[in-house]
Amino acid sequence: MAPILEIKNLYKNYGPVEILKDINIAIEPGDFLVLVGPSGCGKSTLLNCIAGLEPITGGDLMIGGKNMTDVSPKDRDIAMVFQSYALYPTMSVAKNITFGMKVRGVDQATQTRKLNEVASQLQIEQLLNRRPGQLSGGQRQRVAMGRALVRDPKLFLFDEPLSNLDAKLRVEMRSEIKKLHQTLGATMVYVTHDQIEAMTLATKIVVLKGGVIQQIGSPAEIYNKPANLFVADFMGSPAMNLIPAKARAGGAGAQIEIARGIGEPLVLVDKHAPALPEDVILGLRPEDIAEAGFRAGADVQDATCLVDMVEPAGADTYVVSELGGKQVTARLHAETVATPGEMLNLSIDMSKVSYFAPDSGQRLN
């Protein structure tokens, strides 16, 4: 199948400043692509370039197989939902949703049919006569989505659509957007700085930093095999532990030596390690550290640590100890008994570890 959206070697400058550098992305019909990254990384600029609201400095942008680089936003077959909703305050909900169709000269019967269709999809039938000022944030968000849905576009673009909502409503709207994506089978590009939103919604994630793509992949690929230290640290909460270590080739695989808060260094055997330089950063997700004996398997290695801090978090208990001069967090089961200042027998699942080069930050395995 041809990609719905294909971005080739896209550059975007504001004056002399390069904001987006050599962006290459292709998405298939039905994909939910999430652009994620810290504030200022260029996510909104990229979305605006896709929408045609910002001209691009170099490269090509194809939508539905057509080169749209120089095509005006209204002719790109896209619909955009903004953070601010951008609803017309003096129009009713129904008028807000049908206005675009009216402007495009869609006949009255089709307008009414589509309005009813999306109103029922979004469960806003009882709100159609209200004005935006008489709606809650979540309801406004639904109306803004309704306005996009009636267009039946090739591509939906969302710019941080949930950022004005409180935490509980955010989670609710997040699952509604996900449901909507599943029922419509629509193709979506969604901007957020929230890595949890990215993980839960996306079929494909693009991680951006400083206008450069750091990694493109499924949520599982990004989470389990981050391409570099930036992605490893940015995606996941609590963050991946990034522990300086020494690697030594030993039989099959390698021995990984990590300085401990007290006593002898910790030595872990990784039978599947690739050829590694002597200095590495070991990447370890908090959930891949368990209480000793809690998890079994050929790749599980014991690691006794001095407990620095215990943080009960309801479903889990986080235990922090020092390894390789870093505060390392283990996500343990809620009933874990651990006391600061005492030793705790932990185990590490070596089949899950990542290795990074300390200088370049690139993944090594």
The CB-of-163 to ligand ATP minimum distance in angstroms stands at 9
Residue 276 CB, shortest distance to ligand ATP, in Å, is 34
Among 23, 31, 44, 305, binds ligand ATP (CB under 6 A): 44
Please give the helix or strand (H or E) that residue 191 lies within, else none. Answer: strand 188-192
The minimum distance between CB 255 and ligand ATP, in angstroms, equals: 41
Stretch that binds ligand ATP, among 40-48, 88-96, 244-252, 278-286 (CB under 6 A): 40-48
Closest distance of CB 69 from ligand ATP, Å:
19
Measured from the CB atom, the residue of 21 and 131 that comes closer to ligand ATP is 21
Rg of the chain over CA atoms, in angstroms?
A: 25
Token pair listed for 363? 């993944």
Tokens of 301: 């290695």
Owner of token pair 């004996």: 293
End-to-end CA distance of the chain: 31
**19 vs 115, beta carbon nearer ligand ATP:** 19
Q: Which of 4, 10, 41, 122 forms a contact with ligand ATP (CB under 6 A)?
A: 41
Residue 153 identity: P
Q: How far is the CB of 233 from ligand ATP (least distance, A)?
A: 17
The two three-digit tokens of residue 107, written as one number: 């006949």
Question: Contacts with ligand ATP in 166-205 (CB under 6 A)?
Answer: 193
In the set 27, 31, 45, 354, which binds ligand ATP (CB under 6 A)?
45
**Given 4, 42, 115, 206, the residue binding ligand ATP (CB under 6 A):** 42
Distances in Å between the alpha carbon of 281 and those of 33, 130, 194, 278, 318?
30, 57, 25, 10, 22
Residue 254 tokens, joined: 């390698």
Would you count residue 147 as binding ligand ATP (CB under 6 A)?
Answer: no
Site for ligand ATP in 3-22 (CB under 6 A): 14, 19
What's the closest the beta carbon of residue 136 comes to ligand ATP, in angstroms? Answer: 24
CA-to-CA dists, residue 58 to 49, 256, 266, angstroms? 11, 45, 51
The Cβ-side half-sphere exposure at 13, using a 13 Å CA radius, reads: 7
Environment class of residue 151 by beta-carbon count within 10 Å: exposed (0-12), middle (13-18) or buried (19+)? middle
Minimum distance of ligand ATP from residue 158's CB (angstroms): 12
Q: What are the tokens at 184?
A: 């419509």
Closer residue to ligand ATP (CB): 14 or 88: 14
Looking at the Cβ atoms of 153 and 211, the one nearer to ligand ATP is 211
Q: Which stretch binds ligand ATP (CB under 6 A): 33-41, 246-254, 310-318, 353-361?
A: 33-41
Stretch that binds ligand ATP, among 41-49, 55-63, 222-230, 254-262 (CB under 6 A): 41-49
- Answer for the pair 258, 268: CB distance below 8 angstroms, yes or no: yes
Q: In which element (H, E) is residue 319 found? A: strand 316-323
Residues at the site binding ligand ATP, with contacts judged by CB under 6 A: 14, 19, 37, 39-45, 193
